[in-house]
Structure 1
C-alpha cells in the first residue's frame, strides 16, 4: 500500500508497529472525493447513496478509458449491488469490479474506489477492524467518496476515516464536479 496510507494505519491501528515497504511516497495516493449532496437512504437492511453511485460511475468510466486496474469497495451490500447495476447499464465492466468490504478482505488492486455511503450515521465506521480492511486494499491509490462535512466536522470526525481526512488536509480533497467533467485524479 502507498506510504501515506501505511504510515497512517501503522500509527492509528498498530501502534507504529507496521512498517511500510513501498516506493509510492506520493501523498496524493489517498484522496477524498466530496460528494456534497450525497444522502444515505435505507434499502432493506442495508444502505445506499445514489449521489455517490453517480460519481463512482464517472470515476469508473475514466479509469476504464485510461486502462487503470480498479475495484470498488463499500461497507454496504445494497450499495454494492446498485453500483454493479449502474456499471452494467453504463456499458462498463461490472463483473468482479465491486465488493463489500468483508468479501474483499485479503485482496488488493492498483486503484481502489471506496464508497462510504453514510452521510448522517456512523454505522460501519465504528468498527476499526473492518474500516482498516477497507482502507488498506490499494496498491497505487485510493479515492474515498463521501461527504466532506460528514468526515471533517460531522459524526464521523473521530472515526478512522475522519482521522485520515484530517491527516490528508484540505489538499487531500477532490471536487466531484471535476470528475463529472472528465478530470482524472
Structure 2
C-alpha cells in the first residue's frame, strides 16, 4: 500500500481491517461454506464503501487472501477459484505470495492438479526471490516454509527422486 494515504483514506482502510478481523474471529469453528458466504457478504459491503479504484482493488486482494485462507482447509476445487482470482488481482506483497504457496500446498492434498499448481507457485516464488540479497536468516526461513509446503503437497519426495534420476544428489 502506498505510504502517502490521506487521513480519510487511512481511516477507511483501518475500519475495513477491523471489520475483517472481527469477522475472522467470529468465524472460528465455522464451516468453509459459512466462511465463504460471510467473506463474500463483507466484500460486497466494503466494495460499496470504496471511493477509488485503488481502494477497490486493494480490498479485493485482501478479501481474496481471507477467502484463500478459509478455503485452504478444504478440497482443491473450492480453493482454486480464489487462487485464480488472486493471480488476476496481483499479490499485495511477497509475504502474501509466500502464504499463498503454503495455503495452496494445504489445499492440494489428494489433487494432482493442485500439486502441479503448487509446484508452479513455489517455483515462481523461488525465481522472484532467488536473485535478491536477503539476510541469511530470512533466506533460511523462506527455504523452510517452501520445503514444508512441498512436503505437504507431496512434492518433496518427487523432487528428490527426479534429482537422483538425473544423477544429482538429493537436497539436504
TM over 0.5: no
Higher RCO (C-alpha under 8 Å, 6+ residues apart): 1
Question: Where is the strand percentage greater, Structure 1 or Structure 2?
Answer: 1
Bigger Rg, structure 1 or 2:
2
As a proportion of its length, which structure holds more helix? Answer: 2
